[in-house]
Structure 1
Amino acid sequence: MNFDAIVIGAGAMGSAAAYYLSRSGQKTLLLEQFHIDHQLGSSHGYSRIIRYAYAHPVYIRMAKMVYPLWQALEAEAEETLYIKTGGLDFAKADNVHFLATRQAMADSGVIFEELSPQEVASRFPLFRLDEDMRAIYQADAGALRVSRCVTAHVRLATERYGATFLENVTVHNIIPFANSVTVETSQGTFSAGRLVLGAGSWSQPLLARLGVTLPLEVMRQQVVFFDVPPEYGADRVPIFIAWGDPHFYGIGDVDHTGFKCAQHYGGEIVTPETVIRTVDESYVEHIRAFARRHLPAIAENPICEASVCLYTNTPDENFVIDHHPQYPHIAFGAGFSGHGFKFSTLVGKMLADIASQHPVEINLDLFRSDRFKK
């Protein structure tokens, strides 16, 4: 069966790519090895942070581009995907990443406030900062409803724009040609003029079949949710990132699922097939220890849920967004390193444009796949 475009992977980036390809009038096939909104990768759950607070100007520019795209998707899907919470970044006053973030936001024209520990405690009573800490508050940060974002992309692609979506499909082979590609699967063989690969933690073996080798590592990440009263809902407390060694982050209660809190990075390197998917008791205590210091009001609350997800990391923690070196009609996104979801609707649009050989609105040198060979 022939299509204009095939997308492999219906997670954050793949679902978005299928949406933009089908919306542009291309006959699109979206393939998923599991079912929509499965719990085995990186594109499921209740919430992810969206923010301008980055130390690199390219990410800040991408954030400026992605907010309007989420708003447009919300309007078309007729559901709320983004919750504006405001965002609190805090760290020791001399923390290098904190200082670089503050400088990059100032240089990029992002409006924010600088707060002392006393000012934070007065405005946001949940938080307790050490006396040698400082904070940045940025009002536009918030939470994205993860599963709803993914399913909105897929629903609109299929129901409004006529995309074909096949679940529980195993990709056996990808055969590239000069101006097309053939994908052999457990549900048949399909051909198209262009291909987008957005397979998350399963990207490495698929790309290897195309001769693309990337130094990706899959990391096990654990997340806990504190049972909290309504005053700690996402619409009432800011998301936070505590920069240090290690980093921590959190999101207020979204849709009565609990106050999310986790350490960013630090998990063991695994494979998607062998990862232990139950949360360690020692990790729960690790999160409680952080909360006792900085979120004392909820530190001893019951844990209403704990879960495991996956990061797929690059050595420099920057994304890979590129096309195949020999086949420009094959685009791929990978290695989103635990901070990609907020950009997913933009990345999907960029992947659709790359595969269609249309110009992309931003310089992608930071995300080139060949940077690891230098």
Structure 2
Amino acid sequence: MALSKSSSILIIGAGTFGISTAYHLAKRGYTNVLCIDRHPWPSLDSAGYDLNKIIRTEYEEELYTELALEALRAWRQPMWNGIFHETGKLTTTSGHPDAAQNLKESYENLVKAGAAESVDFIESRDQIVKHCPQLAGAVNIEEWKGLWNSEAGWTHAKKALEKMAAESEKMGVRFVSGPGGTMTGLQLDNKQILVGIKVASGEVIKADRYILSTGAASPGLLPDILSTQVWSKCWTLAHIALTDEEIEQWKGIPVVDNMELGFTFEPDPETKLMKICNAFPGYQFREGRYTDPETGKTTTFSIPRYASDHPEDGIPAEAADGIKRFIAAVMPQFSDRPLLEARVCWCTDSPDSHYLIDNHPQHSNMLLATGDSGHAFKMLPIIGDYIADALEGSERGLKREWKYGGRKEIRNVTRPGNEVKDLRDVRPLNAKL
């Protein structure tokens, strides 16, 4: 069926990809857009449901350098005033050769894009302290080397999603949550043609076109095609509380990202919290099972163990230790602070860290929009425009790099370490913090 502005479009998932797509479809004049999720917008399970996310332009992949520069221009628009903070970003390595090569390639791509004027090499303690005086007491920073990028910063992630979802509603997008918004499977007719989406209420939601933008939940929802194509993983985060005086002292710091230790942001004056993430390859939760009805072969895969379902989990003790190591090295004056609101954040990786935006291999009326690979939120203002292009069949949205299947594994050197542990093997999850 040809797509028209009055065609019914069902978006499954109210996170970064889903909300951005709803917004851009409405901007294009589509009048019958429904977005469902088990949670009200923005979804609690979305990786974007967070205090802050990094906005950067340094990528070893030329494609994402260009996209990140486009997204940065969008973040600077008045819509995002007070939500996007262009504080700059310090990206450093303590000496790992892969990390150093990644930074070199990232810089070269910015040079090719004509956007390297904002970037300086950092090779000494004095240069680091020049851009972030608050790091004067950091341990061994004279060993850090990397990049300073003034055209970078952070966004208040939850507020950004709320803003975009609210604007989508104003333009006529409908959102449904709860059992009526919780996808449980596909409804196929006797010819195995997709005719609707089953939801937990027992209903079947029918539409002309479907967009699956369910992030880490995607492999479990479509295990027949996605359990071997994308890999759901989680990372850990926590916060420390600062006094009003400390908030003022650390106000406006750049994003501080050490590729071996982790990263942090300026503190949030509303909550008085400062978010910190440790650097590691992520955790999995290999509780997903799919048995091929034709071969009888069973595939075991990772599915999310969401913090919204298990708030008692917290984070593994080893992750808490990693966050504490970052604090001890970067801001040792806060080493005695308890870690607050610690939790996991789920993403879904593709083998090569490219997004997966392509038509379902069996159902031409469903578009897949997932595989964020841990670097999607910075594209929030623009990614829905590309997904809308893909829905309309435009090559701009159906990029070769984003196609379904045939991906080759490429190690992501921005995540130190090789072993992706299972959450079941790193208990207790509710470690004393």
Normalising by structure 1, we get a TM-score of 0.86
Matches within 5 A, 1:196-211: 196-208=211-223, 211=225
Among 287, 304, 326, the residue aligned to 1:272: 304
What is the rounded CA distance, in whole Å, between the counterparts of 1:138 and 1:339 in structure 2?
Answer: 17
Cα deviation 1:125-175 (Å, max 9, x = unaligned): 2333533432311112111111112122221111x2111111012224334
Equivalent position of 2:198 in the other structure: 184
2:262 aligned residue: 248
Q: Distance in 2 between matches of 1:282 and 1:189?
A: 43
Q: Is the counterpart of residue 156 in structure 1 residue 156 in structure 2?
A: no
Q: Is the 8 A contact 1:29 1:163 kept in 2?
A: yes
Q: Which residue of 1 aligns with 2:145?
A: 134
Q: Match of 1:165? A: 175
Q: Is the 8 A contact 2:240 2:338 kept in 1?
A: yes
When residues 220 and 327 of structure 1 are mapped into structure 2, their CA distance, relative to the original with a 3 A threshold, is closer
TM value normalised by structure 2: 0.76
Match of 1:84 in 2: 86
Q: Identity over the aligned pairs, expressed in percent?
A: 19
- CA separation of 1:190 and 1:287: change in aligned 2, threshold 3 A: closer
Deviation at 1:35, TM superposition (A): 2.6
Asked if 2 retains the 8 angstrom alpha-carbon contact of 1:89 and 1:240, the reply is yes
The amino acid of 1:64's aligned partner reads L
Q: Retained in 2: the 8 A contact 1:98–1:243?
A: no
Change (3 A) 1:365 1:166: same
Deviations 1:309-339 (A, max 9, x none): 1122222233212222354442222221222
After superposition, the CA RMSD in angstroms is 2.8
Q: Deviations over 1:278-333 (max 9, x none)?
A: 12344323222222223334333343432221122222233212222354442222
Instruction: Give the aligned partner of residue 298 of structure 1.
Output: 334
What secondary structure does 1:372 align onto?
A: coil
Deviation at 1:219, TM superposition (A): 2.0
Check conservation: 1:329, 1:355, Cα contact below 8 A: no
Deviations 1:236-279 (A, max 9, x none): 100022123xx512211134442221123433211324776312
SS in structure 1 of the partner of residue 207 of structure 2: strand
Find out whether 1:19 has 2:49 as its counterpart. no
Highest relative contact order (Cα 8 Å, sep 6+), 1 or 2? Answer: 1
CA distance in 1, matches of 2:162, 2:108: 36
Once the two structures are superposed, the pairs formed by residues 350-361 of structure 1 within 5 Å of their partners are 350-360=386-396
Closer, same or farther: CA 196–314 of 1 in aligned 2, 3 Å: same
Comparing 213-222 and 8-17, the one that deviates more: 213-222
1:364 paired to 2:399: yes
Match of 1:7 among 1, 11, 16: 11
Give the Cα–Cα distance (whole angstroms) in 1 for the partners of residues 326 and 389 of structure 2: 43
Alignment partners' CA distance in 2, 1:333 and 1:261: 28
How many Å separate the matches in 2 of 1:350 and 1:255? 34
Offset of 1:62 from its aligned partner? 0.4
Which residue of the partner structure matches residue 238 of structure 1?
Answer: 254
**Residues 197 and 265 of structure 1: CA distance in aligned 2, closer, same or farther (over 3 Å):** farther
Which of these residues, 221, 224, 229, is aligned with residue 215 of structure 1?
Answer: 229
Taking the aligned partners of 1:37 and 1:237, their CA distance within structure 2 comes to 27
**Aligned letter for 2:322?**
H
Distance 1:326 1:198, change over 3 A: same
Gaps of 5+ in 2: 1-5, 286-302, 410-433
Q: Could you tell me whether the CA contact under 8 Å between 1:13 and 1:345 is conserved in 2?
A: no
* Matched length: 364
Moved more, 78-87 or 194-203: 78-87
Contact kept in structure 1, 2:219 and 2:232, CA below 8 Å: no
Q: Secondary structure at the match of 1:100?
A: helix
* 1:320 aligned partner, one-letter code: L
Once the two structures are overlaid, the 10-residue window that deviates more, 214-223 or 178-187, is 178-187
Shift of the 48–180 alpha-carbon distance from structure 1 to 2, 3 Å rule, reads: same
